[in-house]
Structure 1
């Protein structure tokens, strides 16, 4: 009798359990890694970028994802940020295949994007390389104050997959991405014209992109 009661209750619970809700998919998702020592979130540059982008993509829903990593002065944690960014992008492609993805980062966050865009295999703490099938789902890439650019290796040159989709932007005299010595130029991207340049770059690529094709637009220039 007890077994029958348990079975009956289980059957009733199973018949009334709610179905799993489908994920809400936006038209565009901006996946952004903040700079060193910024509080959790997409950071000041990421927010300025998204705020500038929205009027350029009227009629499209835009969501954001803040890469989960320390953004501390332990720069080895870049690998953790790259792993989180890559895993999130892969999950978005699996759950929302029509969503057009934008990768972005500022300063240390730009280094996070560098790893994701240029490392086809795991290593040095990076554990989740992007499969090649994911590449067409990334409509555009924008980075600000990218440390590798100072070494003559901007992301436009480093990544055969993402280079044509990338705007690697450096404020004039920014010592992080150039041989300049004006530290103020590194911490004022959100007030610079390069945020608008990046938003225009994204809008152009989002409008032109297709899950199975990748069209390149003329590369913007840094200040």
Structure 2
């Protein structure tokens, strides 16, 4: 090989080597991992994805923290008969396991609205009405979950919210109930619009503040951090 050929070969190594390193090594895997992944279960009859409430929560979290946040919409039917909660819980757990395996340093936030909140009841090990289908999150994955937020959870109406009932995730949970929402609040003055329209942006912003404090400070509970109380 002449000097010209050697020079070309060396140049080829210089060009190819960096791309080879960045294509599949640990550095690339770390770079592709977000700071946070929000796993959110949408409400009844919403199209696949995180839904209106979930998207508002994610948007508020991005604004409040400045972190790189990915969103995953729980894959479950969300039909009117509400028979897919177990499927949603199992998909949530599968997604948590996947994130932990591929991106162990990514912080996980769970959430659900309406029927999606019932999905999170199952994940947290406190299903409403003693529902037996679907599984609770295995305890070894709980440390990867920084926070959980539910909106319009029927468990609140019966006085069994995740925040007070779940040994697994209760201390990390904010259960948000709009006082005019008949799904989660049994008091007077309830109206259906309180459930369908009452959470964005006031309550999604409040839940985002609760979650952001934990993402940024890593504290299980901050003094003076309050949850909305039904009136």
TM-score bin (small chain): 0.7 to 0.9
In structure 2, the residue corresponding to 1:141 is in which secondary structure? strand
Which runs of structure 2 are paired with 1:173-192 in the superposition (5 Å)? 173-180=180-187, 181-192=190-201
Paired position in structure 1 for 2:165 = 158
Structure 1's 75 and 61: CA in aligned 2 closer, same or farther, altered over 3 A?
Answer: same
Paired position in structure 2 for 1:104 = 111
Gaps of 5+ in 2: 1-22
Give 1:22 deviation, angstroms: 3.6
Q: Write out per-residue CA displacement over residues 156-211 of structure 1, whole angstroms, 9 at most, x where no aligned residue.
A: 111112111111000012110011431110011343411110010010011122xx
Paired position in structure 2 for 1:215 = 220
Paired position in structure 2 for 1:90 = 97
CA distance in 2, matches of 1:166, 1:124: 22
Structure 1's 107 and 168: CA in aligned 2 closer, same or farther, altered over 3 A?
Answer: same
Paired position in structure 1 for 2:204 = 195
Between 1:111-120 and 1:168-177, the stretch displaced more is 111-120
CA contact 1:156–1:168 (8 Å) conserved in 2? yes
Q: Please report the TM-score for the alignment, with normalisation by the length of structure 2.
A: 0.79
CA contact 1:144–1:189 (8 Å) conserved in 2? no
Structure 1's 165 and 19: CA in aligned 2 closer, same or farther, altered over 3 A?
Answer: closer
CA distance in 1, matches of 2:61, 2:83: 31
Between 1:189-198 and 1:60-69, the stretch displaced more is 189-198
Give the counterpart of 1:144 among 151, 156, 159: 151
Give 1:72 deviation, angstroms: 0.3
RMSD: 2.2
Q: Please report the TM-score for the alignment, with normalisation by the length of structure 1.
A: 0.82
Gaps of 5+ in 1: 1-17
Give 1:131 deviation, angstroms: 2.1
1:206 aligns with 2:215: yes
Give 1:90 deviation, angstroms: 1.3
Give 1:133 deviation, angstroms: 1.7
CA contact 1:189–1:195 (8 Å) conserved in 2? no
Aligned residues: 199
Paired position in structure 1 for 2:61 = 53
CA contact 2:125–2:136 (8 Å) conserved in 1? no
Give 1:132 deviation, angstroms: 1.5
In structure 1, the residue corresponding to 2:196 is in which secondary structure? coil
